[in-house]
Amino acid sequence: MATHTEQTAPWWPLAAVGAGVIALCYGFARYAYGLFVPRFTETFGLSTAAVGVLGGVSTAGYGVGLLLAPKVSAHSARGTVLLAGTAATTGLALMALAPDVVVFGAGIAVAGGSAGLVSPGVAQLIGETVGDGGQARAQTWANTGTGLGLAASAFTPLVAFGWPVIWAAFAGLGVAMTLVAWRTLPRTQPAEAALGKTPGLTPLVLNSVLIGVTSAPYWTFSSSRLTEAGLGPAAATWCWFTIGVGGLLGGLAGRVAERIGLPAANLTTWTLAAAGIALLALPNPGLGGALVSSALFGCTYMALTGLCIVWAARVSPARPARGVTWSFVGLGVGQTAAAPLAGAAASAIGLGPVFGLTGLFALLAWAQLIPAARAVPQP
């Protein structure tokens, strides 16, 4: 049975390796797909509808990974992280070597599944091995691996090599990162079984749905908004890179939560997130405004998702993976629902007003001051 132990070793090596595997699974195996859509379209002769189907295949793989994560991580948190790294590497390799779109799609599905497995697995492993004194910091810094992966992949479309070579390099990095994890991650005993419902889970899931709803327009339409505002493709690349670099600062959220409390840290981050999103509502944000917006979005998105992981670990100390899974399901539901709604709204009123309204909508998080935030367990 896994229990919280007093911290006997530094928390940061585990957080660093966890961040590396998360960078592999999210930055390369899940999100880099969107950067190379024009090249994939040319290679396989894809229509716009086919590109959308392949994106859906990635999401389906992600959902399967999330659903498997609680049970698998209860058996072995370390094994779950290694399985995620192996799935990412396998999926990337299949994509690199794919002779046709069917094998390519299979690679996308396997790669997407890695992202669903990795965050619950890392959260569970940290919950089982890091004492309360460093757990919030370990969880939020590990979560910034997504930002690291985004930053590392941002400029890869500009590389002169063909995309299969780039994808093969991603798979090679996957082999190296998975081996590092295998050599360094600690072994733990199986977690205790979770009985019945988890009290306090509903506010966490609602918070996650709101993250999904407010982030989807940014992930989907920020580049289009920059083009509409007169900025070129190079600006969009730099903004993607800035999102990733800004995301690394999201690791500070754990320390902030330890100092001022999780509810206050969450609501402060939400306020900054609203400001970052609303900056793209300006008629002419310019490159400076776009970069500030990207930095704020990257930092607050990673901070908010990291705080959800901390929240999940406090709601269910023995089984953090369970809370993280439901949190990320809520995040996915919010993103899935909001992206088409934002597109329809943009057709009617324009992208600028959509970003303004999304920024205002983010302030709904302050409704948590009523009862929900007070229900967040404190360490």
Query: What three-state secondary structure class fits 290?
Result: helix
Distances (CA, A) of 337 to 193, 277, 340, 356: 32, 18, 7, 18
pLDDT, average across residues 202-206: 91
* Contacts of 336 by beta carbon, 8 Å cutoff, 6+ apart: 59, 212, 216
What is the pTM (predicted TM-score) of this model? Answer: 0.85
> What pLDDT score was predicted for residue 47?
84
> What pLDDT score was predicted for residue 4?
46
pLDDT tens per residue across span 270-328: 999 999 999 999 999 999 999 999 999 999 999 999 999 999 988 888 788 888 999 99
Indicate if the pLDDT at residue 237 is higher than 90.
no
* Contacts of 137 by beta carbon, 8 Å cutoff, 6+ apart: 11, 12, 15, 251, 254, 255, 258
> What pLDDT score was predicted for residue 195?
46
* Phi, psi dihedral angles at 25 (to 5 degrees): -75, -35
Indicate if the pLDDT at residue 96 is higher than 60.
yes
pLDDT tens per residue across span 131-172: 777 888 999 999 999 999 999 988 888 887 899 999 999 999
Q: pLDDT > 90: what percent of the chain? A: 57
> What pLDDT score was predicted for residue 124?
92
State the pLDDT confidence band at 7, using cuts at 50, 70 and 90: very low
pLDDT, average across residues 6-16: 74
* Contacts of 234 by beta carbon, 8 Å cutoff, 6+ apart: none
Mean pLDDT of the chain: 88
> What pLDDT score was predicted for residue 198?
65
Sign of CA dihedral 371, 136, 255, 303: negative
